[in-house]
Chain A
Amino acid sequence: MTTPSQTPPPSPVPVDEKRESFEREALVHLDALYRVALRLTGNASDADDLVQETMLKAYRAWDQYEKGTNAKGWLLTILRHAFINEYRRRTRHPENVDLDTIEPFAVFGEIQEEDPQGAFFDRIVDDEVLRAIDDLPEAFRETLVLSDVEGLSYQEIAKVLEIPVGTVKSRLFRARQLLQARLYDYAVSMGYIKGSPA
C-alpha cells in the first residue's frame, strides 16, 4: 500500500497571483464582453449566461494565456466559440442570408443636398441604433460590433472571427452601409429628414 504523497499538487501559479492577474487583465473587459454577448444573443439573460460561461472557461484556461498579450481578443474568441456551440441554435433562427445579394445603397448620394453633414444622425436614439444593429445578418453584425462597438483593429477582428483581413474589410464596409441605409430609412419614416421620394 502506498502512502499519500506529502508534496502539494503542482501549481504553476500561486492562486493569489492567478487571481490578481485575471482581475487585472481579464475582468477589466467584462463590459466589452457583455456588449458583444448582448448583440450576439439578442437578449440580456442569455448574454449574462454567455459572459459568465466565458469568464469561467477563461479562468480555468488562464495558465495557457500568454500574459500581457491581447486578453480582450483572447476572451472574445472564447466567447464566440461558446456562442456558436451553445447559444446560436436556440437564441436566433438559423440564417440563410446570402450576403452577396444585399444591394449596396449609398445614403450620401441621397442626402448630400439636404443634410451633407449628417445632422440627422443626432436625432436617432441609442435604442433605435441597437435595434438596427440586431437586425443585421449575423456575419455583418459580429464584424461591426467588434469594430465599432469594441474598437478592435482589422487584424484583431480577423483573428477572433477566423477569417482573412480582406473579408473583414468587405464585411465591415457592407455592414456599415446596410446599417446606415436602415437608419436613413428610419429617419425618413420619423420625419427627421425629407429624403428622396420613393
Chain B
Amino acid sequence: MNCRECVEHLYEFLDREVTPDLERDIRRHLEECPPCGEQFDFEAVYLKFLRARCRAQGAPPELKRRLLQELFGE
C-alpha cells in the first residue's frame, strides 16, 4: 500500500468501516510511514473535535412539551 491509497481510506479507517484485511494493510503502512501516521492522528483529532462541538445541542423543552400534548393530549 502506498501513501495515496492509505490516505484514500483515511476516514473509513477512523470510522471503523474498513474490512479486517484493509485495516491490517493500513496499520502496517502507518507503522512504516510516520508522515501518514501524523496525518491520521491529526484527522482523528479533527473528528473528535467535530463530534464534541456538535452533539451537545438538544431539543428545546418547549418542543417536547408541545409534542407530548399533540401526541397524547397531556
Contacts and interface: CB of A to CB of B under 8 A. Distances in A.
Interface in B37-74: 38-39, 41-43, 45-47, 49-51, 53-60, 63-64, 66-67, 70-72
Nearest to A48: B63
A116 B38 contact: yes
Nearest to A37: B59
Interface residues of A, number: 42
Contact of B67 (A55, A122, A180): A55
B17 interface: yes
A26 B66 CA distance: 16
A117 interface: yes
Nearest to B72: A19
Contacts of B10: 173
A52 B66 contact: yes
Interface in B17-41: 17, 35, 38-39, 41
Interface stretch (A68-76, A78-86, A145-153): A145-153
Contacts of A126: 53-54, 56
Given A121-B49, A126-B53, A129-B53, A153 B67 contact: no
Nearest to B53: A129
A129 B41 contact: no
A51 interface: yes
Contacts of B42: 108, 111-112, 116-118
A99 interface: no
